[in-house]
């Protein structure tokens, strides 16, 4: 039953992305303002683990980096697709027969498709979905058991997906932004990972600097 719900959710998200593509691609071609750029910054991630033997959980401090395009159809409305390498995960302390600190380091290629609202020239407001493809993962152990291990796709779901909301300030060819990403899919996909993570989902904040070309002079 659980796997059936995940399958249905994946189909729904895929259908949404396909429908958006049919609408977005013609609009991109006809967009009045086109900007491309690079971006990178800080990622603060947490899994909000809810299992019986969890003692404490701390966020993982990581990074995000990638490319984006911004296409404004009208002066105040547009869309921004991105390709981002994003680190996710957290660090958790477990108490029980074996006391252990476990560091979850899970890295993705994220593909957000964000709608842009620009109420004033200096401010962009973003909202939209993202899809994430699992690239690699590593789990470190401290305590009774020491060391680290690579957990492949058999232990984590290969697809992540969720919703994003955020803002950015425009300074000509530069942007300073912040956003929050709310994952909708459980990331554990094996008995071992479910024992440690339960129904955890990716949740993370991002702070970034973006450089866009061609530079757009702000109008105040």
216 versus 195: the higher-pLDDT residue is: 195
Give the alpha-carbon dihedral of 215, 126, 169, 25, to 10 degrees: 0
Residue 219 lies in a domain: no
Dump pLDDT digits (tens) for 125-167: 999 999 999 998 888 888 766 655 655 667 899 899 999 999 9
Positive or negative torsion for Cα 139, 141, 145, 148: positive
Q: What is the pTM of this model?
A: 0.80
127 versus 216: the higher-pLDDT residue is: 127
DSSP run (H or E) holding 8? helix 2-30
Phi-psi region of 70 (alpha: psi -120 to 50; beta: other; left: phi over 0): beta
Residue 12 lies in a domain: yes
Beta strands in 95-122 (DSSP E): 100-120
Dump pLDDT digits (tens) for 48-82: 998 888 888 999 999 999 999 998 887 788 999 99
Residue 34 lies in a domain: yes
Residue 23 lies in a domain: yes
Dump pLDDT digits (tens) for 155-200: 899 899 999 999 999 998 899 999 999 999 999 988 888 888 999 9
Residue 141 lies in a domain: yes
Burial label, 56 (beta-carbon count in 10 A; 0-12, 13-18, 19+):
exposed
13 pLDDT above the threshold of 50: yes
- Compute CA distances 106 → 59, 98, 124, 142, 169, whole Å: 13, 23, 29, 18, 29
> Cα 103 to chain center, whole Å?
19
Residue whose structure tokens are 């396909």: 18
Burial label, 22 (beta-carbon count in 10 A; 0-12, 13-18, 19+):
exposed
Dump pLDDT digits (tens) for 23-39: 555 555 455 678 899 99
Number of domains in the chain: 1
CATH of the domain at 108: 2.40.160.20
Structural domain including 24 reads: 2-213
């Amino acid at each position: 039953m659980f796997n059936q719900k995940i399958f249905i959710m994946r189909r729904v998200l895929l259908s949404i992305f396909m429908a958006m593509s049919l609408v977005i691609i013609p609009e991109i071609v006809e967009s009045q303002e086109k900007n491309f750029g690079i971006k990178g910054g800080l990622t603060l991630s947490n899994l909000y683990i809810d299992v019986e033997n969890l003692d404490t959980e701390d966020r993982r401090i990581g990074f995000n980096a990638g490319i984006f395009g911004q296409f404004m159809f009208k002066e105040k409305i547009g869309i921004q697709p991105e390709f981002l390498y994003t680190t996710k995960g957290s660090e958790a302390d477990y108490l029980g027969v074996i006391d252990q600190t476990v560091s979850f380091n899970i890295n993705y290629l994220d593909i957000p498709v964000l709608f842009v609202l620009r109420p004033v020239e200096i401010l962009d407001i973003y909202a939209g979905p993202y899809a994430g493809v699992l690239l690699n993962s590593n789990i470190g152990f401290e305590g009774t058991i020491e060391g680290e291990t690579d957990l492949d796709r058999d232990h984590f779901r290969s697809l992540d997906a969720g919703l994003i909301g955020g803002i950015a300030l425009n300074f000509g060819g530069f942007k300073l932004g912040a956003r929050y990403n709310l994952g909708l899919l459980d990331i554990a996909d094996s008995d071992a990972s479910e024992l440690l993570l339960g129904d955890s989902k990716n949740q993370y904040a991002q702070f970034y600097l973006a450089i866009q070309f061609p530079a757009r002079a702000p109008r105040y």
